[in-house]
Structure 1
């Protein structure tokens, strides 16, 4: 199986691909879209577009665009939009997020867990800037290091400093709780394990079980105490 297939299975029971509760997602979207409820929303790296369909369901005048390189995820996103009756207000683009361009700017842009595709926080915000209308806002989700060892290079203060150095300022934020981080990790590994145990013996089953075991061992072996996740609502600095 390809990496994106493993990811899709892992997020079956936690459709937001980030350690955020339903309440946190609702509150962050409400803050991002405050005063922009009848505008245009873009999600770079949307996957199955859970952020977008929730936003569209909550705001009947909102229009949205999602961009992702995973065609299967976009097909799922379209089916979900059809089930919720919001498909006429969403556009889905199968392409590399770094190649996306728009004729009309967006009032808000989502980039949650996708800055690595651009090469980091600075390059991601540099790419988002031209897509954003004056007065618009960005929702940026990013892992950070709480203590050694952990893969991300920055701690929380360094993450916020990188945003500021790129010319943006936080106007709201959410630091994921231990409960949110744990729920996300158990959902990922549990969904993969559940999926595998329902399959007959074979390469896909073995791969899913191995991916779940590796993820679980890394989390319990050090990442659980070392990693955090912050989601920031940003606006351009003066």
Structure 2
């Protein structure tokens, strides 16, 4: 059970593995009014930046679950670095199958709704972990502009036009699933740029250091093609945000 090696190479030394920067992650923590001692569950927790910084800044506790041993090790190191290793823990495993020992105050899946087959299924996974009145946090792409053709859909890393909704459609979907949207923090083009472009530098540095690796041709092709694809399609058409939801 592990992510492909190309993913960990691409993410490199990034701490936030989504197109919101550390400032927006901090804004989100303040916006949802975290109470000291609140318990969080973060499914697909990546390198643990959400849990670790929120434990430091808001006094929360929590558990992160991720399929990547590399990311889980980085998350544990970050917890130690920030002095919160006694308040957060990180588990290597299948986030979709994880059920906490007791209900939590906040359950998150930020940027990985594939674990539930999309937003509705992921909300069901989060709901089963929440105490009554608990909050779900979901990170999800949406169309900023309607893609005019299939080339734009593929260039935005979508499997189909219907994989994502526009922002009103996504908000409508939350309501159809029985949740109230109570807060949101959206990526902007600058935070998208910082995330996407960091991948290119990580790929180039790795290629320079590993020219004979079996992954080198694949990652060389990605570095050649992805910057143009990003500025032509994804940057203009795809948005991303984290949405705070409460059960109706």
For the pair 1:45 / 2:56, whether they are aligned, the reply is: no
Residue 122 of structure 2 is matched in structure 1 by 124
Structure 1 residue 40, shift from structure 2 partner: 0.5
Residue 57 of structure 2 is matched in structure 1 by 58
5 Å-filtered alignment, 1:16-165, equals 16-32=16-32, 34-60=33-59, 62-146=60-144, 147-148=146-147, 149-150=152-153, 151=158, 152-165=163-176
* Count of residues in Structure 1 that have an aligned counterpart in Structure 2: 234
* Residue 224 (structure 2) aligned to one of 200, 213, 234: 213
Q: Which moved more, 1:124-133 or 1:148-157?
A: 148-157
RMSD after superposition: 1.8
For the pair 1:202 / 2:213, whether they are aligned, the reply is: yes
**Separation (CA, whole Å) in 1 of partners of 2:89 and 2:98:** 13
* Residue 181 (structure 1) aligned to one of 170, 178, 192: 192
**Separation (CA, whole Å) in 1 of partners of 2:13 and 2:67:** 22
Map Cα deviations across residues 76-113 of structure 1 (whole Å, 9 max, x no partner).
21122122221121222222111111221111112111
**Separation (CA, whole Å) in 1 of partners of 2:221 and 2:21:** 27
Residue 228 of structure 1 is matched in structure 2 by 239
Cα distance change, pair 86–203 in 1 and its aligned pair in 2 (3 A): same
Structure 2's unaligned 5+ residue stretches are: none
**Separation (CA, whole Å) in 2 of partners of 1:20 and 1:153:** 18
Structure 1 residue 41, shift from structure 2 partner: 0.9
Question: Matched residue of 1:36: which SS?
Answer: coil
The normalised TM-score by structure 2 is: 0.87
Residue 15 of structure 2 is matched in structure 1 by 15
Map Cα deviations across residues 13-62 of structure 1 (whole Å, 9 max, x no partner).
53211111222110101223x252211011100111111111112133x2
Structure 1's unaligned 5+ residue stretches are: none
CA contact (8 A) 1:173 1:233 kept: yes
Q: Which moved more, 1:85-94 or 1:117-126?
A: 85-94
The normalised TM-score by structure 1 is: 0.90
